[in-house]
Amino acid sequence: MAPDSRPSRLRAFADAADRRLGHRALIAAAADHPVPGGARFAYVFGSALLFAFGLQALTGIALATGYSPSVTDAWASVHHIQHHLTLGWLVRGIHHFGSSAMVVLCVLHMTQVFFFGAWRAPREANWWLGVVMLLLVLAFGLTGYLLPWDQKGYWATQVAMSITGGAPGGEQLQALLQGGPQAGNLTLTRFYAIHVLLLPATLGALTLGHVSLFRRHGVTASPKADPATLQSRAEPFWPYQWLRDAVFALIVLGILIALSVWVGASLEAPADPAGAYEARPEWYFLFLFQLLRIFEGPLLIVGTVVIPGLAILFLLAVPLLDRRTGGLPAPRVAVPFVLLIGGAMALTVYALATDRADVDFLDGRAAADRDALQAHRLAEAGGIDASGRVVLLAGLQLFHQKGCVSCHAREVEADVHAPLLAGYGTEARLDRFLRAPDARELFGLTPLREEMEPFGGPDADRAALVAWLTSLSGREPSNPERTARGRALFDGSGCTDCHNDPDLRAGAADWELDAAGPDLRGFQGYEWVRGLLRDAGHPSWFGGVVGPDDEGVMPAFPDLSDDELDLLVRWLLAGAPGAD
Amino acid sequence: MKADPSHTPPADPPSPRRRMSRRAAIGVSGLLGLAAVAAPAALFLDPLRRRGDKAGAAETWTGLGAVSRFPEDGRPRAVIVTEDQTDAWLSRPGVAVGHALVRRTGPAEFTVHSGVCPHLGCSVAFDPAGDRFRCPCHRSSFALDGELTPNPDGAPNPAPRGLDPLEWRLRDGRLEVRWVRYLPGLPDRIPVS
């Protein structure tokens, strides 16, 4: 007995625990599980899948703490995870690339056990379980990449749902998955429930069964090895096979982290059902995607249902097609298996190569990347509103949709074109305007040309004027100490010949407001810009200069709803990002 | 854990009490299972009950803008279609639901097609180089009148039917359409329900 009684106390506690829990026998059975012929790297894929599945569960739980499944919140919450939560980009990266790793490892594992004949009696049931688990892994991928509700997920799911709906009896299945006639809120909640509850529970249960059956029947050694040698060279699982498994899992994790750091999980622009988009599924579905391009018209079903269905049936039938008790797989299963794996790989490569040579695709892809970056920047700059809109992106989209861009663009074919809006409301643009209001990109090509004289004073004076004019909007100018001088310059430089006093309060007499030039009260502030968009021909804006019915001045936009007007104004006041 | 067959007690004929109990146990367990599953299953299957709620063409006309927006050059323009939308619990005005491909061929002559690809629902775009519509996903190809047309490079054209025409009308100098989605992947036009 050692003088210190602690080890023995600890042992006594462990003994007591074991009498109650029986864990030692369980651990010993797992650790001593014999690996015939000794530990090998060929056996690592199954354990790596267990590890990857655990990793997906862990990262998934962490992601779920930041995710909100609805058409208004999904993109915003994923954007928040990616760009604001601690290591969100890394966790999302591991989860994103982890799904690819699961697919790759499934194929490697399946190929290894196929050629080792691990589907032969008495292991048929475990092969079948494995095939079902592979399908579940693919279902994980399909339900997972919709969840960010970005362009990629939205359009890929459109196609997947169309395929489902077009299959025999698929309409009901489509309704069940999609939750309604079109992709929307219920699609997200249902995909989310399937992805984080139904599939993990099912795959978890099947994994238990798969591992139990594996333990029951043991490792399947190479069919070419001599049984006596296998027996004599057998090693226990712990620590020999465990070490190899752990080394490989570490490599997998390293690759996932490296991909997260150097490539990163993509988050494309928010889903836009009305936009053009070069939709592609996740790479591991590209072979199915390519099939869809081959079959014309009524043969569509061959690509969507018949070929994938036959492939699954073949995999399930493998143990029945070759019922010998040992040896390498017979050619009648080996050849189709190789064709299946090789065919899928060839179709994947073909799809990638076709896209790489397709100029339209490359243009569309580049546009999607630009949109993604722009959505991110605008979300950072202007936030996301309760409707889930990236506020500044919505304004920019209205600028295009409502036809504003047909006049306010650099490349306009018409004789008359309106000022470029990039940098709207900024001091720099105001400074350029005071220096040369008739510059080509300002009012030089509008009926307002030659209506205002450039401010010819020294730079410092112009800067003071800019500071004061900026303060009229309610914003803080960059040099607030200059505003008083700016105000004095306004009064003393002839500005008041055309503009009324911007400091007049509401209720000013009409004669005080009859100046011809735009009313500068609240100049380039929210209400001022809003009024300008409502009716630029009103005397308070340009109507006093060119007459209210002059067709050359910006038309009124009575069609704009208050909400649209609000988005446009907010976008303008943010400097009209993306307008150039 | 493995039961040794030699230790199995000799199979006595089950007593009536045991038989009754066994039947009752199976019955009660089955009932228990059904009762537990029924309500969650019904909730999960709710979308099946709802199919057909909003069948057919939209009741409303959607404005695509002033007629003057469309030059009479027969050149297609993609126009965003917005609708007031109720999506489960959420009602939103002016949601972009898709895009229409609009060609104006005369003072009051338009052809309007849905931009939703009849193959598998991707977004169809005008291809100025080929003077046709193309789908970027699976390379479906359509002539300007919406009918199927071969791909210029001979690649298969997988679409089962031409582009879906949208009903249109002119009201107060504005072009309006009735937005309808049809099931993709079929030769016939069946509205999404």
Q: What percent of chain B has pLDDT over 90?
A: 59
Q: How far is CA A472 from the centre of its chain?
A: 41
pLDDT (tens digit per residue) in A490-507: 888 888 888 888 877 666
Tokens representing residue B17 in the block? 């009490």
From A196-205, A211-220, A279-288, A405-414, the region with the lowest mean pLDDT: A405-414
The answer to whether the CB atoms of B81 and A162 lie below 8 A apart is: no
> Residue A54: its pLDDT value, please?
98
CA atoms of B55 and A467, how far apart (whole Å): 59
The answer to whether the CB atoms of A181 and B92 lie below 8 A apart is: no
pLDDT bucket at A393, cuts 50 / 70 / 90: very high
- Nearest alpha-carbon partner for A102 in A144, A44, A50, A160: A50
Decide if B47 contacts A178 (C-beta within 8 A).
Answer: yes
> Could you say which residues from 246 to 275 on chain A have a Cβ atom under 8 Å away from some Cβ of chain B?
272-275
Determine the average pLDDT of the residues in A544-566: 78
pLDDT bucket at A558, cuts 50 / 70 / 90: confident
- Of A373 and A181, which is predicted with more confidence? A373
Least CB-CB distance to B87: which of A184, A279, A296? A184
From A97-111, A202-216, B69-83, the region with the lowest mean pLDDT: B69-83
Q: Is A278 at the interface with chain B, CB within 8 A?
A: yes
From A125-129, A243-247, A560-564, the region with the lowest mean pLDDT: A560-564
Least CB-CB distance to B160: which of A165, A276, A298? A298
Least CB-CB distance to B120: which of A163, A178, A564? A163
Tokens representing residue B32 in the block? 């228990």
Closest CA in chain A for residue B77: A401
> Residue B1: its pLDDT value, please?
43
CA atoms of A323 and A370, how far apart (whole Å): 56
Find all residues with CB under 8 Å of A234, minimum gap 6, and list them: A34, A35, A36, A37, A38
> Residue A415: its pLDDT value, please?
61
Q: Is A8 at the interface with chain B, CB within 8 A?
A: no
List the alpha helices (DSSP H) in A402-482.
427-435, 459-472
Q: Is the pLDDT of residue B51 over 80?
A: no
CA atoms within 13 A on the CB side of B122: 25
Domain residue ranges of chain B, discontinuous segments joined by +: 15-47, 62-177
Query: Which residues of B are less than 8 Å from A161 in CB distance?
Result: 121
CA atoms within 13 A on the CB side of A63: 26
As a whole number of Å, the CA-based R_g of chain B is 29
Task: Please provide the CATH number assigned to the domain covering B62-177.
Answer: 2.102.10.10
pLDDT (tens digit per residue) in A118-161: 999 999 999 999 999 999 999 999 999 999 999 999 999 999 99
Q: Under DSSP, is residue A580 helix (H, G, I), strand (E, B) or coil?
A: coil
Domain residue ranges of chain A, discontinuous segments joined by +: 41-369, 390-504+513-573
Q: Under DSSP, is residue A244 helix (H, G, I), strand (E, B) or coil?
A: helix
| Domain range A41-369, CATH architecture | Up-down Bundle (1.20)
The 3 state secondary structure assigned to A49-87 is HHHHHHHHHHHHHHHHCCCCCCCCCHHHHHHHHHHCCCC
Burial class (CB in 10 A: 0-12, 13-18, 19+), A246: middle
Q: Is the pLDDT of residue A416 over 70?
A: no
Q: Is the pLDDT of residue B83 over 70?
A: yes
Q: Is A555 at the interface with chain B, CB within 8 A?
A: no
Determine the average pLDDT of the residues in B140-144: 94
Decide if A470 contacts A463 (C-beta within 8 A).
Answer: no
Which of B102, B122, B124 is the best substitution to test chain A (most A C-beta atoms within 10 A)?
B122
- Nearest alpha-carbon partner for A164 in A155, A153, A176, A173: A173
Determine the average pLDDT of the residues in A174-193: 94
> Residue A450: its pLDDT value, please?
83
Beta strands in A151-303 (DSSP E): 235-236
Q: Is the pLDDT of residue A11 over 90?
A: yes
Q: What percent of chain A has pLDDT over 70?
A: 95
pLDDT bucket at A196, cuts 50 / 70 / 90: very high
The answer to whether the CB atoms of B51 and A171 lie below 8 A apart is: yes
pLDDT bucket at A474, cuts 50 / 70 / 90: confident
Predicted ipTM of the assembly: 0.89
pLDDT bucket at A411, cuts 50 / 70 / 90: low
Tokens representing residue A25 in the block? 């026998």
Closest CA in chain A for residue B65: A402
> Residue B7: its pLDDT value, please?
62
Q: Is the pLDDT of residue A537 over 90?
A: no
CA atoms of A144 and A379, how far apart (whole Å): 23
Least CB-CB distance to A155: which of B88, B99, B122? B122
Determine the average pLDDT of the residues in A359-382: 94
CA atoms of A68 and A82, how far apart (whole Å): 14
Find all residues with CB under 8 Å of A221, minimum gap 6, and list them: A36, A37, A116, A230
Closest CA in chain A for residue B184: A162
Determine the average pLDDT of the residues in A336-345: 97
Q: Is the pLDDT of residue B57 over 60?
A: no
The answer to whether the CB atoms of A294 and B156 lie below 8 A apart is: yes
From A7-21, A206-220, A537-551, B101-115, the region with the lowest mean pLDDT: A537-551
- Nearest alpha-carbon partner for A544 in A451, A465, A454: A451
Average model confidence (pLDDT) for chain A?
Answer: 91
Q: Is A158 at the interface with chain B, CB within 8 A?
A: yes
As a whole number of Å, the CA-based R_g of chain A is 34
pLDDT bucket at A227, cuts 50 / 70 / 90: confident
Q: Is B81 at the interface with chain A, CB within 8 A?
A: yes
Q: How far is CA A251 from the centre of its chain?
A: 26
Which of B87, B92, B114, B147 is the best substitution to test chain A (most A C-beta atoms within 10 A)?
B87
> Could you say which residues from 94 to 113 on chain B have a Cβ atom under 8 Å away from some Cβ of chain A?
94, 96-99
Residue B126 parent element (H or E): strand B125-127
Diameter of chain B measured on Cα atoms:
97
pLDDT bucket at B56, cuts 50 / 70 / 90: very low
CA atoms of A170 and A172, how far apart (whole Å): 5
Pick the most confident of A165-174, A308-317, A379-388: A308-317
pLDDT bucket at B2, cuts 50 / 70 / 90: very low
Query: What are the residues facing B191 on neighbouring strands?
Result: B182
Q: Is the pLDDT of residue A326 over 80?
A: yes
Query: Which residues of B are less than 8 Å from A293 in CB distance?
Result: 138-139, 155-156, 158
Decide if B78 contacts B68 (C-beta within 8 A).
Answer: no
Pick the most confident of A255-269, A548-562, B82-96: A255-269
Query: Which residues of B are less than 8 Å from A273 in CB distance?
Result: 96-98
List the alpha helices (DSSP H) in A402-479.
427-435, 459-472
Q: Under DSSP, is residue A41 helix (H, G, I), strand (E, B) or coil?
A: helix
Q: Is A474 at the interface with chain B, CB within 8 A?
A: no
Phi-psi group of A458: left, alpha or beta (phi > 0 → left; psi -120 to 50 → alpha; rest → beta): beta
From A339-353, A438-452, A558-572, the region with the lowest mean pLDDT: A438-452
Q: For tokens 């690649």, name the residue.
A: B155
> Residue A555: its pLDDT value, please?
80
Closest CA in chain B for residue A386: B92
Determine the average pLDDT of the residues in A152-172: 90
Q: What does the buried/exposed string (b/e) look like for A105-133 if buried means 16 or more CB atoms within 10 Å of the residue's CB?
A: bbbbbbebbbbbbbbbeebbebbbbbbbb
